[in-house]
Amino acid sequence: MKVFPCLASLFVAWFAALGCIQAVTLEVKEGNSTCIKAELSASFSITYNTSSSTRTVVVPLPDSTTIDTASSSCGSDGRSPWLVALFGSSHALGLSFSTNGSVYSIANLTLQYNLSDTSLFPDSNSSDVVTVVSGSVGIWAPINTTYRCLTPTTIGVGGATVTFSDMRLEAYMPGNELSPAESVCMADQTTTTAPTTTASTTTTTTPTTPEPTPPGSPERGSYSVKTSNGTVCLLAQMGLQLNVSYVSQSQNKTVQELLNLNPNLTSSAGSCGASSATLVLTQEPTTMLSFTFTVNSTTNKYRLSEINLQANWSDMTAPFSASNDSLNYLRSTLGHSYMCNAEQTLAVEPTFSLNTFRLQVQPFGVTTNQFAAAEECQMDQDQMLIPIIVGAALAGLVLIVLIAYLIGRKRSHAGYQTI
């Protein structure tokens, strides 16, 4: 009799832990017919002010998300079809659709969040409800087809970003179910060899466990951040390896885990400012890594001042979070990029360090989508010295051999003469 409630609470905890991985299904209906249906996972990366600094949190769209039937609409009243999903304490995600008869698209995306929710925004110095709208979402499909994008797609909206993954969505639906014909997004076409036509339904649930891959050198990824007008303002190329220690559920002890970020599964987002720039990398569904660069205007130098990691891997007993905002890494001069081909270890917290490989970044002053001249790290400069030293040593050796030969020849000449 006592076992049952115990088991039940265990299951609740289990599902709560899985909450951020699971996809939600959202449906807007009018009468008996469905006009918008979306099956997706989403997470939001939101930056807010505390009294002393700024902080970035990643908020998953929870299972408990519901449709706001009062605001959502199928558009029969002359308005655009609108899907409004509510979650947590008065946070909302809105998708507005438009069509030209042959193609439908997300016309704009609205994110509303309530900074007085201290469970999501601890230490926020504001209690405002913030509403941000993005006009260029880039999600569209022919009418009577389902838009499909399993690859994470990140959309910037105000200072926040929204990352969708495992997404299937249709508006202006001809029936009550998603159309079997799928319009597959570009990212899915390049990262998988899946057919571009309707995929069989058995393959729809791709494994959502990009969990700890065996180590080895991580693959180098190319990441960028764009301003709202589409120009690239931050560039980064690097291989990244996370070194995290956490309490393992299966082993009931603290374990040290290395995870290589897989660029194919990682999306980038962020923001650029004159004195501070942030790059947010998200490997769906459970890893978020952010870098903040700041400028010292008296010296005209910039540095990597903050690293923040949030992770919720399946074997973790609790979501992992580590951040440090008083770092002093990757120092370079404004107008230059920073480069380090050698492996570097960036210590963040005792429980988390980051290994970088073949790194080049430029967080400020990017023009024409290209890196400016690079300032190289000391390790690379030292490594460059090795061939020079070896070369010099070889040249010296050749010289000695040559001199020895010449002397030897002179001696032997002298020898013949005395005989």
Ligand X SMILES: *[C@@H]1O[C@H](CO)[C@@H](O)[C@H](O)[C@H]1NC(C)=O
Instruction: Tell the residue number behind the tokens 């929870």, with chain if given.
Output: 62
Q: How far is the CB of 411 from ligand X (least distance, A)?
A: 58
Closest to ligand X by CB, 299 or 412: 299
Closest to ligand X by CB, 166 or 188: 188
Closest to ligand X by CB, 117 or 375: 117
Cis peptide before 214 (omega within 30 of 0): no
Closest to ligand X by CB, 66 or 227: 227
Q: Which residues of 213-248 are buried (b: 16+ CB within 10 A; e: fewer)?
A: eeeeebeebebbbbeeeeebbbbbbbbbbbbbbbeb
Q: How far is the CB of 218 from ligand X (least distance, A)?
A: 8
Q: How far is the CB of 394 from ligand X (least distance, A)?
A: 34
Q: How far is the CB of 82 from ligand X (least distance, A)?
A: 8
Mind giving me the DSSP string for 243-281? EEEEEETTTTEEEEEEEE--GGGEEEEEEE-SSEEEEEE
Nearest to ligand X by Cβ — which residue?
Answer: 90
By residue count, the chain amounts to 419
C-alpha torsion angle, residues 371, 375, 380, 385 (rounded to 10): 120
Q: How far apart are CA 417 and CA 66, in angstroms?
A: 108
Closest to ligand X by CB, 116 or 323: 116
For ligand X, the binding residues (CB under 6 A) are 31-32, 47-49, 51, 80, 89-90, 96, 98, 100-103, 107-108, 114, 116-117, 125-126, 129, 133, 143-144, 159, 174, 191, 219, 227, 229, 231, 243, 252, 256, 258, 262, 264, 296, 298-299, 345, 353, 355
Residue 125 structure tokens: 């110095």
Instruction: Tell the residue number behind the tokens 């899907």, with chain if given.
Output: 83
Q: How far is the CB of 90 from ligand X (least distance, A)?
A: 3
Closest to ligand X by CB, 22 or 255: 255
Helices (H), 96-212: 186-191
Q: How far is the CB of 391 from ligand X (least distance, A)?
A: 32
Q: How far apart are CA 372 and CA 304, in angstroms?
A: 17
Q: How far is the CB of 3 from ligand X (least distance, A)?
A: 16
Mind giving me the DSSP string for 74-104? -STTSSPPEEEEEETTTEEEEEEEEE-SSEE
